[in-house]
Amino acid sequence: MGGIIGRAAWMATGILLLLAGPAFAAEAGAGGGGVMSVGAISIITGGFAMAIASTAAAIGQSRAIVAALNGIARQPSAAPRIQVAMIIGLAMIESLAIYVLLISLIVFFVKPFGG
């Protein structure tokens, strides 16, 4: 399954790179003519990044919870230690989505090329 997700991520990156070319090739005084702006491309890129990061975080958290529950079911006496380790691990996994959200917000609100 990792191969499919990896291929989809590379495909999305390639499509976004193809869409970004015309935005930078436009002349300064041109009237637009259907060219996507840098703002529109940054919104699309941020949306894709957040969707991919949320999916990865959800898959990672579900696997961590399943592994913790299997460990607790096999050795109930170790439940408190397993639970603490699981909560720390879930916080680390969730930080991925928070970092991507932060970068997406920076891309949304900061003008990358001045002006």
Per-residue pLDDT of the chain (115 residues; tens, 9 = 90+): 557 777 777 777 777 777 766 656 555 555 555 677 777 788 888 888 888 988 999 999 999 999 999 999 999 999 999 999 999 999 998 898 899 889 888 887 876 665 4
Going along the chain from its start, the domains and CATH numbers come out as 36-106 (1.20.20.10)
Nearest to 26 by CA among 18, 35, 17: 35
3-state DSSP assignment of residue 31? coil
Express the helix, strand and coil content of the chain in percent, nearest 5 each. Answer: 85, 0, 15
